[in-house]
Amino acid sequence: MTTETTGKVDSTSTPPAFSSPEVKKILQLAKGSKSIELKLSVPLTEHSATIKGIGLDPVEAEPRQVYFFDTPDLALNQAGLIVRARRIQGGRADTVVKLRPVDPETIDAELSRSESFKIELDVMPGAFVCSASYKGVCSGQEVLDVAAGEAPIRPLFSKEQRAFYDAHAPAGIEMNSLSILGPTFLLRAKHRPKDFDRSIVVEMWLYPDGSRILEISTKCLPSEAFQVATEFKVYLGEKGIAIGASQTTKTNAALEFFKARLESGLPVG
């Protein structure tokens, strides 16, 4: 088992339980994290039943478009760096420069003073990863201008984000030289079930080849992690949602999809 969730985490029907050293590592990472996100990818054959089981009205889902920026061979991703922009309904958009995996103890305390910076621990069946990221805001039109090649990539990101990128990107890879990978269309809904005492987020990522990933997640404070994880697992089990399914991360699935398109000489936009 690895602390970095890259692609499919486990191909067996039941991911192994975390070992004692892994639990110790999760606790260590949690201490330095602002929040913990518990995630679960749902098998394709169970998407409809899952949406119905948790009582979600799919009409309430918000459409979004995600663009990733990387080299054709995903050199940034291999270095643990994720650069993306996301269009949101209503003309809004946001951006993220994320580094993973990280150890919170090695992060400069000065970074944490920014409201735009956060350290978060993601936990899913069979794997966990801690990330540090800078978030920014822009307009949806600015993202479209970059995607159309009418504006450079770098000004889309804040000064803090650009500095974070420069500090962690592989040498020689300038932000304006990155390929635009996307868009990937997704539907996102925040839902408060009647029989679960906290909000959950449901995202359906729809890839251009017709494949899709459905992810259910909930966030909590580090001090609540194990209690909420247990309650979340019980809730999902009561809804008949498989906990032991093979897990696939949305970001890596998207990046690998567009990498294959580039290698085949096919359009990515």
State how far the alpha carbon of 184 is from the alpha carbons of 44, 63, 76, 146, 255, in Å: 18, 11, 18, 15, 10
Tell me the two tokens of residue 179.
């390929």
Spatial contact of 75 and 128, defined as CB atoms under 8 Å apart: no
> Is CATH 3.40.50.1240 what the domain over 20-263 is classified as, yes or no?
no
In the chain, which residues have pLDDT < 70? 1-16, 244-245
User: CB-based contacts of 226: which residues, under 8 Å, 6+ apart?
Assistant: none
Measured distance CA(55)–CA(53) in Å, rounded: 5
Measured distance CA(15)–CA(248) in Å, rounded: 12
Q: 189 in helix, strand or coil?
A: strand
In DSSP terms, which residues pair with 144 in a beta bridge?
none
Tell me the two tokens of residue 194.
């009647």
State how far the alpha carbon of 46 is from the alpha carbons of 186, 237, 238, 247, in Å: 18, 13, 14, 14
Q: Which residues of 114-123 are buried (b: 16+ CB within 10 A; e: fewer)?
A: eeebbbbbbb
Question: In the chain, where do the E strands start and end?
Answer: 35-42, 62-70, 81-88, 92-99, 117-124, 127-139, 179-191, 200-206, 212-220
pLDDT at 247: 78
Amino acid found at 85: A
Strands 35-42, 117-124: pairing is parallel
Tell me the two tokens of residue 107.
């992060």
User: CB-based contacts of 152: which residues, under 8 Å, 6+ apart?
Assistant: 146, 176
